[in-house]
């Protein structure tokens, strides 16, 4: 009998040590606005091995429009996967998990819905009732902020990276402009897909700082580069998925979803936190995250180079050092 129990335990632990993306069905999922995603799917990819007590799990949600395979490199670089089991989870709306591109009548979703779907995956499908940590980049950072507000006792630590607890005015201007660029193309699917060229121009304009672009690229190459970026966006992104996740980000506000003000939130958040911001970020403004960190009197790491939102790549060693020390 002991051998059978040990074998089942061994199989259970090693189900997590997979390199391929797995798709879990979490059943009919009700959104915060009361709509239902039938047979909701959540994709995930794991790195490392789950320990016997399931106490070494780190959840790593995807960034805006990203897939779990896209964040695998960052997770492997920043987290010791010989010690931790990292679950890279595909956020709702990205096309791996349930999204407009693979689900009929896909409803409007929120960042809280992304988090709630991941909570269902962990507790119902994977039998994980506590996380050692949650961490994520950009929209993954937004989900990390939402996690500590939605399920304050569920994780020991949290690391939002270039994310925000609440959208700034500037953030809203950016996301609404990208959304409008698609809507302006009309209702024809091909026209909306072609509109991703305009989205690419706006998005890439904000990814880096003007100083970075001017130092790293020649003006003579601009038109050719813009054309290539447009081609890549048309081929690689579904416009309705793009809009679905933009709408989710536009509503991001953990003070509203938790019902707690900034003054009240320090007594509400239970996780130990490390906040990482890029001071020259023109895509996710660092002001709200910095304000949050100061209110909770928690550690904040500032990436100060001119890579803007992509500072996590340009200053990856600094992120790695901070994350490994905190974990």
Which residues belong to the active site?
138, 281, 309
For 119-148, the DSSP string reads HHIIIIIS----EEEEEEETHHHHHHHHHH
Q: Where are the alpha helices (DSSP H) in the chain?
A: 2-14, 72-78, 111-120, 139-150, 169-183, 189-194, 196-207, 210-216, 222-236, 239-250, 254-258, 287-296, 311-314, 316-326
Backbone angles phi, psi at 201, to 5 degrees: -65, -45
DSSP structure class, residue 165: S
Query: Exposed, middle or buried by CB within 10 Å (0-12, 13-18, 19+), for 155?
Result: buried
What residues have CB less than 8 Å from 218, skipping those under 6 apart? none
Backbone angles phi, psi at 44, to 5 degrees: -155, 155
Please, are residues 60 and 31 in contact by the beta-carbon 8 Å criterion?
Answer: no
Return the SS3 of 280: coil
Q: How many Cα atoms occupy the beta-carbon half-sphere of 326 within 13 Å?
A: 28
Alpha-carbon dihedral 103, 105, 111, 113, rounded to 10 degrees: -80
Return the SS3 of 275: strand
Closest CA relative to residue 89, chosen from 127, 123, 134: 134
The token pair at 265 is 């939130």
Tokens 């706006």 belong to residue? 202
Strand partners for 300: 275
């Amino acid at each position: 009998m002991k051998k059978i129990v040990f074998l089942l335990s061994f199989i259970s632990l090693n189900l997590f040590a997979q390199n391929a993306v797995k798709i879990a069905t979490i059943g009919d999922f009700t959104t915060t606005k009361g709509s239902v995603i039938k047979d909701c799917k959540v994709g995930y990819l794991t790195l490392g091995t789950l320990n016997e007590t399931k106490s070494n799990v780190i959840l790593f949600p995807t960034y805006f429009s990203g897939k779990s395979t896209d964040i695998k490199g960052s997770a492997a670089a920043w987290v010791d996967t010989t010690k931790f089991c990292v679950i890279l989870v595909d956020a709702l709306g990205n096309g791996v998990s349930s999204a407009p591109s693979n689900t009929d009548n896909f409803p409007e979703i929120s960042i809280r819905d992304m988090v709630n779907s991941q909570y269902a995956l962990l507790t119902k499908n994977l039998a994980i009732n506590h996380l050692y940590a949650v961490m994520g980049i950009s929209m993954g950072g937004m989900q990390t902020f939402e996690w500590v507000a939605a399920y304050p006792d569920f994780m020991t630590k949290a690391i939002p990276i270039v994310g925000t607890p609440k959208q700034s005015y500037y953030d809203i201007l950016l996301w609404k402009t990208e959304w409008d660029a698609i809507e302006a193309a009309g209702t024809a699917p091909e026209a909306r897909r072609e509109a991703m060229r305009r989205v690419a121009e706006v998005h890439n304009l904000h990814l880096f700082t003007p100083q970075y672009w001017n130092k790293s690229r020649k003006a003579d190459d601009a038109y050719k580069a813009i054309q290539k970026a447009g081609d890549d966006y048309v081929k690689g992104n579904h416009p309705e998925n793009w809009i679905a996740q933009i709408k989710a980000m536009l509503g991001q506000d953990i003070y509203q979803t938790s019902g707690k003000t900034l003054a009240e939130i320090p007594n509400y958040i239970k996780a130990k936190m490390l906040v990482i911001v890029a001071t020259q970020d023109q895509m996710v403004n660092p002001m709200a995250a910095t304000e949050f960190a100061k209110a909770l009197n928690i550690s904040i790491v500032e990436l100060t180079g001119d890579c803007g939102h992509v500072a996590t790549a340009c200053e990856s060693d600094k992120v790695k050092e901070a994350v490994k020390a905190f974990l």
